[in-house]
Amino acid sequence: MKTGLTLDEKGFLAVNRHLQSVSDPYVFAAGDVSSMLENPRPKAGVFAVRAGPPLLRNLQNALRGATLATYTPQSTFLSLISTGDKYAIASKGSVFVLEGAWLWKMKDHIDRKFMRMYQDLPSMDPSTSSSSPPFSLSALSSFFTPSHPPNPSDPGSSPGEAATSVHSHTMRCGGCGSKVGASILSRVLSRIEQSHSCNEDILLGMGDDAAVFRPPPPPLLQIQTLDFFRIFFPRFDPYVFGQIAANHALSDCHAMNARPRTALAQAVVPLAASEKLTEGLLLQLLAGAVQVLNAAGCTLVGGHTSEGTELTLGFAITGEAHPSQLLYKKGILRNSSHLKNDEEESEDVKRRRLDGMTRMSPGRSLSRASSPSTSFAPVPTFSLLLTKALGTGTIMAAAGQGQGSAKWEAGAVASMLQSNAKAADILWREGGAIAATDVTGFGVLGHLTEMIRGDNGMVGEDNLLTTAGTGQEGGVRARLILSSLPALPGAEDCLAKGITSSLAPANQHHARHLLRNVSTVAHSNTSSLRQHSKYPLLFDPQTAGGLLACVPVDKVGITLHALQAAGYEAACVIGEVWNDEKTDVHIELVID
């Protein structure tokens, strides 16, 4: 992606003595990304750190319309280099060169002190940190005035135009008046590196009233899904947010073992002080998203952008799947797709499904699961596999409140950026999975319940989950093993502090009406279960979470090996499923 900014001969952003781009007065930079043309300095951390305060002052001065301060970096600096054996060498230009163990101790102290600044974060008020919009209209509109004459040929950058757009239109219009300007959109789209891997099927894409593309050829089925949510907290990187939003939207398609083909974007950007700010934010958002869509072979064919209070992004995904290879939530109860005829199935697919039906059918059912007070334990027919660790909800809530750690947040982001595409293929081809879903907002327990309850499962008068209308004589029982739940680094720490996502209480409240039998093997009361450190993970909402699949027990080993080899290191068995002809559908929770 081209920046459109002037660079030096080595490719670094050229800035003047105000740390301001020499080609765009609204862009400032410091540190390794930049190069001061008037005062060139080597790429050393000391210059980046020292440039921070003057950079902040000039950003504030630019917003106020005040004179920019001149920054002259120091000419020499102290270098401390460890030799790896608790010994260090120090130098400062041509002034002196020293060495010794005492210098290593000094370096170690300086380094640790610096790192603590980014590890021991101060507490923040959650009532204000997570609810405030990424950009404050009142904060910007009160003092925004361009400090430098803009380029007259640049749309939206005439003197005072940005300030006028804020001051004159404090009350923003709704309807189509809330759309982002066409000039902004055209500039953003022209700079995005869009993939055209599906061009042969797309007849009309962006630029027309609607996208037109060929439907998949028979017997392929067309599927559609939609996901849409707001940014985690104001300081979150919009490019990474775009990547996560796209990955999350694609996950529903992957969970059904389908191939995504096209995407429509729905973006809401906060009102900014100028078109340039809006354009830059939208560019980062869509560039991140398109990078993920391209990798998935999915083409962005259009969408809609509008103004709002918070940065929000979502996608409507259209995909295709072969009916005999479709995975879906209700597969645990049905084991054969009502979307196809037997003649359309391959012999291998038919054998898989018939084998699953035989294992789960009432005629071959295993003995009924006993209560925790007895020693009998049924032999499970299928295992429940989870491909990713849990905890993105609590970790991102902590990060938004300033109570987490950068390492925990980075781990959660890495998990959310991991695609479920390979996992779905492995679950189908290696595992012979009969059902799958992606674990997202309702938490692992909520989504397992959706799998267990069946197409027509309903909550009865006694608030107990039943199998009304499923056509089965009995039901399916699932056992979820609490100690087996994989947790992201830091998730249990955040939960122990009482930090939960705002959706978690609703998930937990809903679960009370879905659990027929909450019990433990080792304890006769439920207090031990609820006091377990992983119990809150059951209700933690996941963004771009992993896949939860029902796999025959004899395929578990090879499936886990393939998943972990493909990069799903946290993949593991978290429970088991078996048929019980004498019971209603329910879920049993055990500690181990």
User: Which of these, 94, 47, 42, 99, lies nearest to 73 by C-alpha position?
Assistant: 47
- Render pLDDT for 221-237 as a digit per residue (tens, 0 to 9): 999 999 999 999 988 99
Architecture of the structural domain at 329-335+342-366+376-590: Alpha-Beta Complex (3.90)
Could you tell me which CATH number the domain at 175-324 has? 3.30.1330.10
Instruction: Give the global pTM.
Output: 0.68
Contact (Cβ atoms closer than 8 angstroms) between residue 195 and residue 294: yes
- Render pLDDT for 571-587 as a digit per residue (tens, 0 to 9): 999 999 887 766 555 78
pLDDT, position 592: 83
Cα separation, 459 vs 46, in Å, equals: 63
User: Which of these, 513, 515, 456, 458, lies nearest to 482 by C-alpha position?
Assistant: 515
DSSP code, position 150: P
- How many degrees, rounded to 5, is the angle at CA 439 between CA 338 and CA 578? 55
Cα separation, 67 vs 159, in Å, equals: 16
- How many degrees, rounded to 5, is the angle at CA 371 between CA 368 and CA 377? 60
Q: Spell out a b/e string for 413-430, using b for 16 or more CB atoms within 10 Å of the CB, else e.
A: bebbebbbbbbbebbbeb
pLDDT, position 4: 86
- How many degrees, rounded to 5, is the angle at CA 225 between CA 488 and CA 572? 30
Other Cβ atoms closer than 10 A to 471:
10
pLDDT, position 514: 59
Cα separation, 328 vs 498, in Å, equals: 34
Contact (Cβ atoms closer than 8 angstroms) between residue 579 and residue 472: no
Per domain, the residue ranges of the chain are 13-75, 78-119, 175-324, 329-335+342-366+376-590
Contact (Cβ atoms closer than 8 angstroms) between residue 457 and residue 585: yes
Residue numbers of the chain with a pLDDT score lower than 70: 1, 121-171, 195-199, 272-273, 331, 333-380, 454-475, 512-526, 581-585
User: Which of these, 341, 126, 68, lies nearest to 218 by C-alpha position?
Assistant: 341
pLDDT, position 572: 97
Alpha helices for 221-330 (secondary structure H): 238-255, 275-295
Other Cβ atoms closer than 10 A to 581:
16
DSSP code, position 17: T
